[in-house]
Chain A
Amino acid sequence: MREFKVVVLGSGGVGKSALTVQFVSSTFIEKYDPTIEDFYRKEIEVDGQPSVLEILDTAGTEQFSSMRDLYIKNGQGFVVVYSITSQQTFHDIRNMKEQIVRVKGSENVPILLVGNKCDLSHQRQVRSEEGLALAESWSCPFTECSAKNNQNVNVTFAEIVREMNYVQSRSRQSKTCCSLM
């Protein structure tokens, strides 16, 4: 089975942890223990193909700016999250794509832009169009979701798997093309 490492990035308070928790524990259990080894691993089937996602969620450690490089280095796909209820969090991630690209040393990085907390539409500060525009400039997919109501959560992670599949196949093509040169 294919295995992907996905890094969830974004400022504190955008609900990253809620998003991850919602995804990794779809069934209701009474005890969440993040210290166990496979807490952040989850199997997901996308377009008939099963794969395993290992999620690295930086929630709680946003303050450790010097560790961000390491997180990014370890990841293959990136879910960049902001909260639609906070313009600040949207502003914070504006340069995220550039950072990821710089660390990975490649333009072809699977990224997904996610606006969380869409259940709080009455407090919305970031319009969907703004999110979409940023995604277009990054040339990556965009989605809005609600971790609280489990709305679009699995779709989000399925989308990043598709992106990773797509980028991988493209880089394989370009590699063969390069080696020909």
Chain B
Amino acid sequence: MSKEIDISIRYLENVLSTNNSTLILSSTAAVLEAVSKNCDTTNVDLKRSIISLLRIIDKKCFLNQEVDTNQIKFSLQEVGKLSVKCPKSSQKPKADPKVKSNAEFREIGTVPPNPEEENIDNLLSQLNLKKVPSFSPAFPDIGDDSDDENGVTTKQKEEERAEQHGQKVCEEEVVKLPDGREIRMKKTKTVNVKQTTKHVTISTKSANMPEVSRTFMNARKGFDEDEEEENTNFGGSSNMRDPFERFRSMLQDKDEKIEAIEGESTEPGTPGSSSKSKTIERTSEVSQKVSEKKEKDGRLLAEHEASKLDKSNLFAKQVDTYQGTSLIDRKGEGSYEENTLIRSALPQNSEVATPPKMHVVEYMMMFGDDKKNNENEYLKGTTISSYVRLNNNLTTHEEQFKKKIQFEFSTAGTSSTTIDLDNLSDLLNQTDFNCLRPPAKYLEDTPRIVELPKAIDWQRESTTTPQEKDLLLEQDAAEYVIFREKEGKVLEVRGGPKDALVVYATQSSHSSLLYQEAFLITFRTFISALELVNKLIKRYLYMSLAHDSQSESIARHTFSVIVRIIDEVTQYELDVDLITSVTSFVYRLIHEGNFTYSRILRTRLLDRIKDHFDIHAVLGTNLCKPKKPHDLFDFKSAEIACQLTYIDSQLYHRIESAELLWWSQEQNEKKSKNLVNFTEQFNNLSFWVRTLIITQSSQKERERHMMKFVKIMKHLREMCNFNSYLAILSAIMSTPLARLEWSKNIKDALKEHTAVMDTAQSYKNYRALLQTAKPPCVPYIGIILQDLTFVHAGNPDTIPSDRCNGAKNMINFLKRWNQFAILDSIRKLKKWNYDIKKNDIVVQYFNGFKDRVDEERTWQLSHQIKPSNRKSKT
């Protein structure tokens, strides 16, 4: 038995006694991984034993049902025994690995990928070889304010660019000979490039003369010692537009070290196993500086300067395993980090002049080239971005962007490209929504007896071609989809029957990725997650039976959509039915020998199930009670604002788009748990603030507290935490407090804030403020809920049948586009996070905001402080 399997099985056996579901599940995942790596996964008995192990473990841990531990142990021993019997085929080569052990099922895992098509280089070319665009900051144009027409004005613009790139590629090949000997070959290539350029443009304008511009270019040969040689290679190319082009061509003849550790050649024809690994490390740094100076008769009129630094780091590794000359497996992993720093020095007395704009951060991405149908790599990537604003005074302004992508792939799976978000605003800015292009074919959603979606045991469900027409099994559903049409051009999806929309979302070659994204965010408004997952599994199983590349590609894309849905499934949806459907699909995948897919899906499901949230971790602490209780003035306003923001962002990040959509339709507290936590925090904070102010016994103390909260609000606004900002504002502006007398000081300090909460013109002021806010940001979620509620109330769910030739039940996707637009804006904000650490002492002081009096009591106290005119009349 392989050592890995042995260890994982023994570990699981030990873990069983702990009864800890999470531990058991992750140890089971380890067993599954070990077996799929080291065993012949085509063996029917082995697959059967694994399925029965998973079944019983899932029953215990996913569905919390009573299970006999001995039964698990027995299954585990079975797996152990069989894994010894069926070692990986590499040790006992088969004549043709493609021969199917079971004609009914296709062995996706053993379809040999085309090594020319999918490899790490293709991937890297998508990631790193991005040219850093030239930096052109928008400087405020300071006009010539003097009336003197006779002077000489000079404008000098300097642009500097320095680049430094390095790459280290290490290739290693290990060939195992049948007699046990190994041959190792190692090749290392290193390249370093440095380059600087400087442009200076001087324009002179004197009275009644046309402007004269002169440009100086100084492409300094700033290559240091090492790069001197490279310079000779590229000395001729003065027009260095793409720094990477040089870089790439340079790779071919630079520093190649080939180490043959044992120089014996493989005997041809011997089917030994070999592996090739390749690691790539790349670093790149581009710094750019632009400065502008305007002088008149030697007198300085204006001066601006801005700089930008782009850094990127890439590490990637790929391991290919060969059996003889055929590639059996290819695995890769790596990470890529991008860092951008923009610093602009602004003139002293000027306001920040660069127009505020929203930073669009890319989506959680699945990389890969979509157009190639035979693409087999599965990649996942996440973008974690944080935005650090170091200072924001008028003299310097600094922005920092970070992006980190981690990816892994193996020779099975799906891919899709990143999504173009700019289209969305274009799309919704269109006012002519009336031009519908009716579908070429109509298929009404037949109003059969409405049955609740239920779990399907996919392991037992047979895949047969149905009698009646089933859209889910069509390769292309575009003919059934209603599009918007403008001037003969087919534009975005406007609606269609439910199944056509589902199918269209899995057709990555046709459908726009934007549609797919909108579908994934909004499908819950017309189909439940369970129903959708079942439909997609049906489609996947059907497509994976066929052998043409088109069907294979559809199956992969369908699988990718299933993974996305599981990734974003809410706790509410993770019920017995959904878990049963997904786990039985996992067993089916194992049965078909597709261990890679089954592991991916099972891991994602496990991640979602494990994803428990304990609000106490955010609002509570483990500190002992302090001897002397703290009060508000023990902490700096900025620190309190930070900790409020810490709490808000933790709660805010838990909220799923689905919860907001559900809330706009049915306000079910069970479904939208995280949303309810977040709104409760808002209310609790507001009443806590009211309490702290109104329970003070003297006017002086009340004012001191009030002033403190005004200061805290100011910090919150700077941090773009509109949630706590408005919660405190709502407290301060609440009538029991607002009706009391306040010093002019306080009234003045409040002036700039009260306008924000003006409800006029659909919260015009607040919306404008949010638009200019820089992420990270916590928005006031009330307005999002209100917008969603009105989009829901105002737009019909289905397209009126008179608009589409009498067809009924055509889902109105325009409504979903609108919902997507609202949700997308907050999804974007969720991509950012604050870099704040929890301060237990402050959080302990908050005490979960439990020390508060209710609304009635605040009114009583308010009337005690200042008796009511109204009541005194009676």
Point out residues on A near B: beta carbons under 8 Å: 5, 12-13, 17-18, 20-21, 25, 30-41, 54, 56-67, 69-71, 73-74, 102-103, 105-107
Of A13, A38, A60, the contact of B782 (CB 8 Å cutoff): A60
Query: Inside 8 A of B786's CB, which chain A residues have their CB?
Result: 34, 57-61
Q: Which of B736-760 contact A (CB under 8 A)?
A: 738-739, 757-760
Nearest residue in A to B855 (C-beta to C-beta)?
A65
Provide the B785-810 mask, 1 if CB < 8 A to any CB of A, else 0. Answer: 11111111111000000000000000
Cross-chain contact A69 with B735 (CB below 8 angstroms): yes
**B762 contacts the other chain (Cβ, under 8 Å)?**
yes
**B814 contacts the other chain (Cβ, under 8 Å)?**
yes
Of B433, B683, B759, the contact of A31 (CB 8 Å cutoff): B433
Cross-chain contact B790 with A32 (CB below 8 angstroms): yes
CA distance A62 to B675 in the complex (A): 13
Query: Inside 8 A of B686's CB, which chain A residues have their CB?
Result: 66
Nearest residue in A to B666 (C-beta to C-beta)?
A13
Query: Inside 8 A of B782's CB, which chain A residues have their CB?
Result: 60-61, 64, 67
B358 to chain A, nearest CB (A): 14
Knowing A64-B782, A73-B735, A103-B735 are in contact, say whether A34-B759 is a contact too (CB < 8 A). no
Point out residues on B near A: beta carbons under 8 Å: 428, 431, 433-434, 663-664, 666-667, 676, 679, 682-683, 686-687, 726-727, 730-731, 733-735, 738-739, 757-762, 764, 767, 782-783, 785-795, 814, 818, 822, 855, 859, 868-870
A interface secondary structure, majority: loop
B753 to chain A, nearest CB (A): 12
Counting chain A CB atoms within 10 Å of each CB, the highest count among B731, B735, B868, B870 belongs to B735
Cross-chain contact A18 with B433 (CB below 8 angstroms): no
Query: Inside 8 A of B764's CB, which chain A residues have their CB?
Result: 37
Query: Inside 8 A of A69's CB, which chain B residues have their CB?
Result: 730, 733-735
CA distance A39 to B783 in the complex (A): 14
Query: Inside 8 A of B814's CB, which chain A residues have their CB?
Result: 30-31
Cross-chain contact A74 with B870 (CB below 8 angstroms): no
A52 to chain B, nearest CB (A): 12
Pairs A–B under 8 Å by Cβ, sample size 13: A17-B789, A33-B818, A38-B762, A40-B761, A61-B785, A62-B667, A63-B676, A65-B855, A66-B731, A70-B734, A71-B759, A105-B739, A107-B870
Query: Inside 8 A of B762's CB, which chain A residues have their CB?
Result: 34-40
Query: Inside 8 A of A73's CB, which chain B residues have their CB?
Result: 733, 735, 738
CA distance A62 to B789 in the complex (A): 11
Of A13, A57, A65, A106, the contact of B683 (CB 8 Å cutoff): A65
B interface secondary structure, majority: helix
CA distance A101 to B391 in the complex (A): 46
Of B431, B664, B734, B794, the contact of A32 (CB 8 Å cutoff): B794
Knowing A56-B759, A102-B735 are in contact, say whether A31-B859 is a contact too (CB < 8 A). no
Cross-chain contact A25 with B794 (CB below 8 angstroms): yes
Cross-chain contact B733 with A70 (CB below 8 angstroms): yes
Cross-chain contact A64 with B795 (CB below 8 angstroms): no
B493 to chain A, nearest CB (A): 15
Query: Inside 8 A of A39's CB, which chain B residues have their CB?
Result: 762, 790
Cross-chain contact B667 with A13 (CB below 8 angstroms): yes
CA distance A57 to B664 in the complex (A): 14
Cross-chain contact B760 with A54 (CB below 8 angstroms): yes
A112 to chain B, nearest CB (A): 19
Nearest residue in A to B434 (C-beta to C-beta)?
A30
CA distance A61 to B730 in the complex (A): 14
Query: Inside 8 A of B868's CB, which chain A residues have their CB?
Result: 105
Nearest residue in B to A35 (C-beta to C-beta)?
B787
Of A35, A56, A70, A103, the contact of B822 (CB 8 Å cutoff): A35
CA distance A58 to B790 in the complex (A): 10
CA distance A12 to B855 in the complex (A): 20
Of B758, B759, B790, the contact of A17 (CB 8 Å cutoff): B790
Across chains A and B, which 7 residue pairs bring their CB atoms closest together, nearest first? A32-B794, A60-B789, A66-B686, A34-B790, A17-B793, A60-B785, A61-B782
CA distance A67 to B869 in the complex (A): 25
Cross-chain contact A60 with B434 (CB below 8 angstroms): no
Nearest residue in B to A65 (C-beta to C-beta)?
B683
